[in-house]
A and B are shown apart, each in its own frame.
Chain A
Amino acid sequence: MRHADVLSAGGGQAAVQLAASLRQGRFAGSIMIINDEPGLPCQRPPLSKAYLLGQIDEAALPLRPESFFAAQSIELLASTRVTAIDRAAQRVALSSGESIGYGHLALATGARNREIPGMAGALGLRTLADARVLRDALGTARSVAIIGAGFIGLEFAAVAAARGLAVTVIEAAPRALLRGVSAPMAEALVARHRAWGSRLLFGSAAETVMADLVLVAIGVIPNTELAEAAGLACANGIVVDATLLTADPAISAMGDCASFPTGSGRVRLESVQNAADHARCIAERLLGRPAPYAKVPWFWSDQGALKLQIAGLATGHDQTVIRGDADSDALSVFCFAGDRLLAVESLNRPAEHMAARALLARPHGLTPAQAADPGIDLRSV
């Protein structure tokens, strides 16, 4: 039986970062990544942006080139699924029939798209294979209906509008990005999409929408089945402690599939930053320098000419302060719970985003009054 000192089940952003960080830290053991997708692990952000716009081709998508895996002696088994974990024996079973022993197992299985049962012919966007289908479809379709006004739905809407399609976005919730951003930021984004000619429908208004192409973008389900079958606790994600370990000291979880504790409860995040910083935290632990995970979350989303950057988590805010003009393409929304700054959402205001990342890393950030005073330079707070 083959053995890997560190084995990742799932081979996306988190798994590749873990392997890279271990080697940067001079980890001398064997590293293996098992991924059910074919080929090299890809960056996902361009799949809903530059790749669909035809601005970059597939060669630009891999997270690392083939030569990286060879030079760093990281074994990548593509088109292969981990089908079961035997915790007592510390080994995993693969779809190829092989079993592989592990010293440490990192669960990095990511998430999959939520589907609408019975909606034949609808497309989704998660993988390169999905994006290829959509890129072709965009070439012939004249109209698109997008179900879900989350980040992926709105990014796709921006691409489709830029490519001249008639766009309708249908969202069951009363507004866009209900879980993603504050109400003022959602309003600002929706206003821009409408200015580009897209229709956005919210709530339960009854109407029939005809379209050549239907994209379902109603969120994801974390891939926790493998962990659950192995008896590990899962609740909207694989449950880990502050150091990203499961209840089994030989198994960590990271990225989109992991539910981890923060000062304001458990969260499961879907972002490149979260996947990469989780992986770095686990690498440090495996290199003998354990520390709790404590990074300020940040995220970006490009929609047409709009560059949205978010620092922190706005969940639970009860007050917002706006810098810039809410009716313009450039504003920041500061989200507070009482006097405590939780998050800053910046649209085409990269300076405030960068300042927010520094402010949120400190125990005493910014007060609402300071946020409201445009004369206050955030660097000097």
Chain B
Amino acid sequence: MPSITYIEHNGTKHTVDVPVGSSVMRGAVDNNIPGIDADCGGECACATCHVHVDAAWLAATGARTAQEETMLSFANGTEDDSRLSCQIDVTPALDGLIVRMPAGQH
């Protein structure tokens, strides 16, 4: 199973195994990692699953979807490395992925 490291805004690190076919959002929610709310359950409707993807992993995680792009352009603290984690599917190629959580999701 791919291993993903989530780093909270305060620096706390959580490394967990997330099944292929799941999403980076689900990996955090299923393991109760603080910092990702994901209120819409992955519908790309809430933008409360915002993460910053580590520079080394930007290519591997791919491009934003159109809806995601729009949601992010209006979210707080969006940077070039911002993604909605429900829109990143977990694949074997993401083994070792590192994402960082923003200060808040609201």
Residues of A at the B interface (CB closer than 8 Å) are 20, 23-24, 43, 45-46, 63-65, 67-68, 71-72, 272-273, 276, 295, 298, 300, 302, 307, 309, 350-351, 354-355, 358, 379
Q: Can you report 18 residue pairs joining A to B where beta carbons are below 8 Å apart?
A: A20-B32, A43-B41, A45-B41, A64-B29, A64-B32, A65-B30, A71-B31, A272-B39, A300-B43, A300-B46, A302-B45, A309-B45, A350-B70, A350-B74, A351-B71, A354-B74, A358-B76, A379-B74
Q: A64-B29, A64-B30 are in contact. Are A45 and B40 (CB under 8 A)?
A: yes
| B 50-67 binary contact with A (CB < 8 Å = 1; else 0) | 000000000000000001
Closest Cβ–Cβ distance, residue A75 to chain B (whole Å) = 15
Pair A68/B43 contact, Cβ less than 8 Å: no
**Chain A positions within 8 Å of B41 at CB level:** 43, 45-46, 63, 272
Interface hits, B67-97 → A, CB 8 Å: 67, 70-71, 73-76
Is chain A's binding surface mostly helix, strand, loop or mixed? helix
Given the interface pairs A272-B40, A273-B39, the reply to whether A68 lies near B32 with Cβ below 8 Å is yes
Specify which chain A residues have a CB less than 8 angstroms from the CB of B39 in the assembled complex: 272-273, 276
A357 to B79, CA, bound (A): 19
**Given A64-B30, A273-B39: A307 touches B45 (CB 8 Å cut-off):** yes
Point out residues on B near A: beta carbons under 8 Å. 29-32, 34, 37, 39-41, 43, 45-47, 67, 70-71, 73-76, 106
Contacts beyond the supplied A24-B34, A45-B41: 20 A-B pairs with Cβ under 8 Å: A23-B32, A24-B32, A64-B30, A71-B32, A272-B40, A276-B39, A298-B46, A300-B40, A307-B45, A350-B45, A350-B71, A350-B74, A351-B70, A351-B71, A351-B73, A351-B74, A354-B70, A354-B71, A354-B74, A358-B76
Q: In the complex, A68→B32 CA distance in Å?
A: 7
Q: Tell me the complex Cα distance, A302–B42, Å.
A: 13
In chain B, what residue has the closest Cβ to A356?
Answer: B74
Q: How far is the CA of A85 from the CA of B101 in the complex (A)?
A: 41
- CB-CB < 8 A to B46: which residues of A? 273, 298, 300
Q: Tell me the nearest residue of chain A to B67, going by C-beta.
A: A350
Known contacts A276-B37, A354-B71; decide if A302 and B32 are in contact (CB<8 Å).
Answer: no
Alpha-carbon distance A307/B75, docked complex (angstroms): 18
| Chain A, Cβ-Cβ closest to B76 | A358
Query: A127–B37 Cα gap in the complex (Å)?
Result: 23
**In the complex, how many angstroms separate the beta carbon of A329 from the nearest chain B beta carbon?**
14
A64 vs B41: C-alpha distance when bound (angstroms): 11
The residue on B at minimum CB distance from A19 is B32
Q: Which interface residue of A24, A273, A354 has the most chain B CB atoms within 10 A?
A: A354
Cα distance A295–B76 in the bound complex, in angstroms? 16
